[in-house]
Amino acid sequence: MLPSTGVLCIKRFNSVHTCGATVRTCRNPRMGSDLVSAVVADRVRDQPLTRLTDVVFDLKNEYGLDISYQVTWLGVEKVRGEVYRDHATSFDQLRWYSDAVMQKNPNSYVNLEFDQKIGRFPRFKGNLLAAIAKGVNQGLFPVAFAIVDSENSSNWEWFLRNLKEVVGGKRTLTFDRIKYVNVSQKIGLMRKLWECAHAPTVTCFNEKFELLKKCNPAVIEDFLKDLHPKHWSNAYFSGRRYGEMCSNTTESFNNWVGQARHLPIARWVDMVRGQIMEQMSERRVKCTKWAGVICPKMEKKLVSAYNDSRAWCVSQANDDVYEVHSHPSVLVDVVKQTCSCFQW
């Protein structure tokens, strides 16, 4: 330091270090686990499944640092320990969050149930239950979701009781029960199973089912032993399937919220809320461009069905019942919304 000017002036530079930095390697790194956790903290919080290999690569790519997997693991685990504490805090925030939702979205439905004696939820980790509607234009419409401690009959009953508060009314609802069994790849029976499911009458179903069983009786009997036809076939189903015989909505919803599932619960719920809000906004804008009342895909189907039926003759029996002279002729009740072909 020059006393007259206050300027720092280096007159001689000695490049020999005595601090020992030159002998440090990956086994004796400059960057310890505490510094690693500080650098990757935000990333691990937003992406709890962050892989160690990605962290090591990014530290090398962005900072030129060679960090061992052991040091990286220690740093990431420290962040995850903090995130675990975030989960405890996040559960405490749920009551505040539910009050905020009801204030800003008055028609929403929120129900928090916890142990009244200790004032806490049973556990941090849990299962996601969801009710997803499938639109006629193949879109997903999340109706309700819940976080429960485990997937069992009592929790499903609790979920369905609360679901009534959201979708209450006189309209009959059809629930799709997913059963993941890969029969088609084992013995190639998907086509015959599909014919059984779509058979419009019991007689037709029995004929198709006999053909199915002849292919491999033991496998088919084991596959359908706990699965009554009323749950998967048109002929026995007592409700309305609205033309839908299968559904991949569960997998689609899981993929849709895949990243959010590993976040603390309050952040998870808010992220899903934001995704639903964006989805509704996008669809609202999209439907303003429709030329007709219904979505373009269903309008195209309606026009096609109309053109196919133009040659049919119709005789009126009374105010509600008509006979359609097609191949074969059928009886249609427009009030009950039934047809003698067993399809509507």
Residues in the chain where the model's pLDDT stays below 50: 20-24, 26-28, 179-180, 182, 184-185
Alpha-carbon span 252 to 140, nearest angstrom: 8
- pLDDT value at residue 13: 67
DSSP symbol at 327: S
For the chain, the structural domain boundaries read 21-91, 296-339
pLDDT, tens digit (0-9, with 9 covering 90-100), for 240-256: 666 666 666 667 777 77
Burial class of residue 71, CB neighbours in 10 A (0-12, 13-18, 19+): buried
pLDDT at position 317 is 92
Q: What is the pLDDT of residue 31?
A: 66
The model's pLDDT over 148-172, given as tens digits with 9 standing for 90+, comes to: 888 888 888 999 899 888 887 776 7
CA distance 116 to 31: 47
- 174 vs 342: CA distance, rounded Å: 17
